[in-house]
Amino acid sequence: MYYKIIIILIFIYGNVIFAQSNSNTVQYLQEILIDSFINIANYDFPTDAKHFKATKEPIEEYGTYDFIIIGAGISGSVIANRLSEIQQWRILLIEAGIFSDDDLMKIPSVFPLKIFSDYNWGFRTVPQKNACLSVTNHACLVPRGKGVGGTTLINSLQYSRANPENYNQWARILHDSSWSYKNILKYFKKSENFHWTNTKAPVDLKYHGKEGLLHVQHKVPDHPLNDLFIEANKQLGYDITDYNSETQIGGSIIQLFTNNGTREDMGTIFITPFLDRPNLKVLTQSYVTKIEIDKETKTAKSVLFTNNGKTYRARANIEVILSAGAISSPQILMLSGVGPKKHLQDLEIDLIEDLEVGSSLKEHTLLSHLWFMSNLSIPTETINQQLSDFLKGYGSLTSANTQAQGLGFYNVNNKTSTVPNVAIFLDYSEISVIEQQFFGLDEETFESLKKIGSHPIRFLLIHLNPKSEGTIRLKNKSPFEYPLIDPMLLSDSSGKDLKAMYNGIQQIFKLSQTPAFKKINLKFDNVPLPTCKNIQFNSQEYWYCYLKQLTMTGYHPMGTCPMGINTSTGAVVDSNLKVFGIKKLRVADASVFPTPIAGYPSMTCLMIGEKISDIIKEEYL
Ligand SMILES: Cc1cc2nc3c(=O)[nH]c(=O)nc-3n(C[C@H](O)[C@H](O)[C@H](O)COP(=O)(O)OP(=O)(O)OC[C@H]3O[C@@H](n4cnc5c(N)ncnc54)[C@H](O)[C@@H]3O)c2cc1C
Ligand SMILES: *[C@@H]1O[C@H](CO)[C@@H](O)[C@H](O)[C@H]1NC(C)=O
Ligand SMILES: *[C@@H]1O[C@H](CO)[C@@H](O)[C@H](O)[C@H]1NC(C)=O
Ligand SMILES: *[C@@H]1O[C@H](CO)[C@@H](O)[C@H](O)[C@H]1NC(C)=O
Ligand SMILES: *[C@@H]1O[C@H](CO)[C@@H](O)[C@H](O)[C@H]1NC(C)=O
């Protein structure tokens, strides 16, 4: 994935120019790229949030607002935008990070570099037993964005909804047809500004919006693997589809959250242009420690946060909306006394409502290390050329985490199902040191993966329908500790998750053996993984071993405060996202997904933001 970046680095170090330069020039971008590499070399991920601690007492009053929104991620940014359309409502949006002022971040393909920066909280999982075994301490990285825009500041920009059936299932679980696909499609279209179509995998414009704020681009750098991937899918009998239409299964070309080749995060889209609204106050570098809930009336009253060494209290007239993401929203709820009774009692936190907060963490699992050799040789461009193309809106730097843009959705357990359970995509790259750091790979595995033969091509596999379920718990009662994140990857007692990943690997082999890929002499790299080398190569047992070593977090935590109809089955919020048992408090972000989705989460978080804004307007206007 990051092979190109290493080439860039080597090139740059031979050409350092120390003159002052203007932004938006090749020279300027080169310079900030060098700085970024220098920083990575010395970068340590933070392990707690103690720098947010207040040093001064007492609590200062910050005033009263109608709505207080916690977290300027996707959902939070959309909600702040939509609610501040109503002039008489005063909105306070509180965000721990800053407004992004990083020009490098605008280049889609350098996103892995920003994992090593203040724009990432830098969480990790607790040691995993059935996955992440090739990662140092078996603790996978859990990158989460920090700043206005949330995780869209550092994500890989793939624009994907989910399968219509996912939302229909939600509607059935919730006994609320307003969540059905038919009824939420308008929210996807409302925000979207679809441009730049691609002829390799046509898009069905019936399902896309043209008037929204969010640019979506489908004209991607042309890579020889794109054609081969599409051809391979046809040869296996799959349709070539628009995976964001109703027909998701088949081969496709990635749609990206970019505007003319440049990253657009959700803060840039939904917040920055609206800062002149007098009723919208956006507070950055402000860390929420607690929602104050009246114990008698069980009503959310105010929000405590720290900023620059002081603690403040902001009061909410109408509601508090928690949008701090699937890791931090359950953390804040538990710190506020809403969570599993026993856990809160163990930590001596005053219990206000006993709910299964953080008890159903779901995570897509990712295998990014299935390597093939080929005879496909692509000349490397100079960094000057790449940056210069980027500034014109095209070229290899305008794609996100892979150079090739083929993406397929399949159900590898059930040929006749229309709901995929895996996503497969591919890349043309060697493994790099940056990537070792990005995944936290241990030395032995890294050394072994580096030995892959010529012109390596890798396939990446995401399991979209995991049965395994984990938890978010507090380490102690301090809001400045990071929460304990245990996704329990590949732990389901039925073994279904391992089996689905294994079936996914078989699907990759089928694709790799099509005449399309024969043209570039694609061959699996037969070097066994050191830890699994005593197991018969290519047996199911071998792949189970391999999967446990190299399956990692898919960066899509969800379901930690799920919607539902009954708290006795673990629901934390109702279908209007109101926290059960507490008045004036909602959760709106990836925490509320009642089931995992067969897609990437950003668009669903955005849809949730749009939908809840409409619900709130209906309720109070
Ligand atoms: C490396 C990576 C690649 C990804 N690639 C894709 C992709 O290609 N496509 C896709 O759709 N999805 C992708 N995702 C996932 C997607 O970006 C997230 O699922 C989505 O952004 C979650 O949105 P959210 O609103 O739930 O939370 P977030 O976007 O995480 O926002 C939460 C916000 O709350 C703030 N916050 C948290 N705690 C506090 C506190 N105590 N006080 C104040 N503020 C706080 C955070 O700083 C953050 O800004 C990727 C994620 C990662 C990490
Ligand atoms: C993309 O940006 C370049 C450079 O600013 C500009 O020349 C081009 O017209 C833009 N294309 C579109 C479709 O906006
Ligand atoms: C496969 O999917 C089809 C279509 O949804 C469904 O009818 C069938 O029951 C599924 N089979 C299995 C074994 O789950
Ligand atoms: C790659 O291998 C294929 C299959 O063996 C062969 O037909 C093709 O000519 C080779 N291409 C190059 C560039 O060597
Ligand atoms: C919730 O579940 C409990 C226990 O199963 C049941 O007694 C109760 O009636 C349910 N409530 C609703 C609203 O369905």
Query: Model confidence over 33-77: pLDDT tens digits?
Result: 888 888 888 899 999 999 999 998 899 999 999 999 999 999 999
**Could you give the C-alpha distances from 16 to 28, 132, 177, 301, in angstroms and in order?**
11, 38, 59, 55
Calpha distance 368→2 (Å, rounded): 12
User: Taking phi first (over 0 means left), then psi (-120 to 50 degrees means alpha), and beta for anything else, what does residue 393 get?
Assistant: left
Phi, psi of 544 (to 5 degrees): -65, -40
Closest among 549, 456, 374, 382 to 1, alpha carbons compared: 456
**Residue 499: pLDDT band by 50, 70, 90 thresholds?**
very high
Distance spanning both ends of the chain, measured CA to CA = 49
Q: Residue of the nearest CA to atom 2 in ligand 3?
A: 417
Whether 369 and 449 have beta carbons less than 8 Å apart is answered as yes
3-state secondary structure at position 406: strand
Q: Which ligand lies nearest the alpha carbon of 249? A: 3
Contact 335, 349 (CB under 8 A): yes
Nearest to 608 by CA among 14, 136, 71, 29: 71
Q: Residue 424: count other Cβ atoms within 10 Å of its Cβ.
A: 25
* DSSP assigned state of 578: B
CATH code of residue 307? 3.50.50.60
Residue 290's alpha-carbon distances to 41, 70, 306, 331, in angstroms, are 36, 10, 10, 9
User: Within 6 Å (CB) of ligand 3, which residues are found?
Assistant: 414, 416-417
The pLDDT mean for the chain works out to: 93
Residue 13 — pLDDT band, cuts 50, 70, 90? very low
pLDDT above 70 coverage of the chain, percent: 96
Phi-psi group of 600: left, alpha or beta (phi > 0 → left; psi -120 to 50 → alpha; rest → beta): beta
Q: How many angstroms separate the CA atoms of 310 and 290, rounded?
A: 14
220 falls within a domain: no
pTM score: 0.96
HSE-CB at 469 with a 13 A cutoff on CA atoms is 14
In the numeric block, the tokens 């843009």 are attached to 405
| Closest to 469 (Cα-Cα) out of 384, 350, 382, 593 | 593
* Residue 176: burial class (beta carbons within 10 Å; 0-12, 13-18, 19+): middle
Cβ 568 under 6 angstroms from ligand 5: yes
CA-260 nearest atom, ligand 2:
1
Report the DSSP beta bridge partners of residue 300: 293
395: closest CA among 107, 194, 176? 107
Domain-located, residue 612: yes
DSSP symbols for 481-495: BPPEEE--TT--TT-
Q: Give the pLDDT confidence of 453-474 residue by residue, as tens digits.
A: 778 899 999 999 999 999 999 9
> Which of the ligands is closest to the CA of residue 215?
2
Beta strand 141-142 with 299-307 is unpaired
Whether 151 is in the pocket of ligand 1, judged by its Cβ within 6 Å, is: yes
Report yes or no on 608 lying in a domain. Answer: yes
Q: Which residues on adjacent β-strands are paired with residue 98?
A: none
Using DSSP, state whether 239 is helix, strand or coil. Answer: coil
Closest by Cα among 88, 89, 69, 90 to 80: 69
Q: pLDDT band for 298, please (50, 70, 90 cuts).
A: very high
Evaluate whether 184 touches 190 at the Cβ level (below 8 Å). Answer: no
Residues 6+ away with beta carbon under 8 Å from 131:
140, 365, 489, 490, 547, 548, 551, 552
Residue 258 in contact with ligand 1 by CB distance below 6 A: no
- Cis bond before residue 58 (omega within 30° of 0): yes
Residue 9 has pLDDT above 60, yes or no: no
Q: Summarize the confidence of residues 19-27 as an average pLDDT.
A: 69
Place of tokens 């696909």: 181
Ligand 3 atom nearest the C-alpha of 417 is: 2
Instruction: Please give the distance, rounded to the nearest whole angstrom, from the Cα atom of residue 276 to the centre of ligand 2.
Output: 27
Q: How many Å lie between the centroid of ligand 1 and the Cα of residue 120?
A: 9
* Distance of alpha carbon 179 from the chain centroid: 22
Does residue 578 lie in a domain region? Answer: yes
Name the token pair of 182. Answer: 């038919």
The rounded distance, in Å, linking the Cα atoms of 208 and 425 is 23
The rounded Å distance from CA 465 to ligand 3 centre is 15
Q: How many structural domains is the chain composed of?
A: 1
Per the annotation, binding residues for FAD are 151, 288
* Number of the ligand 4 atom closest to the C-alpha atom of 377: 13
User: Residue with the nearest Cα to atom 12 of ligand 2?
Assistant: 260
Q: Rounded to an integer, what distance in angstroms lies between the CA atom of residue 334 and that of residue 294?
A: 15
Q: Is 268 helix (H, G, I), strand (E, B) or coil?
A: helix
Atom of ligand 2 nearest to the CA of 391: 4
pLDDT tier at 20, thresholds 50, 70, 90: very low
The pLDDT assigned to 161 comes to 96
In a domain, 573, yes or no: yes
How far is 356 from 571, CA to CA, in rounded Å? Answer: 7
Mean pLDDT of all residues in 263-292 = 97
Question: 3-class DSSP state for residue 215?
Answer: strand
Residue type, 322: L
CB 304 within 8 Å of CB 570: no
Ligand 2 centroid from CA 122, angstroms: 35
248-257, 395-404, 579-588: least confidently modelled range = 395-404
Domain that holds residue 289: 52-101+266-361+558-620
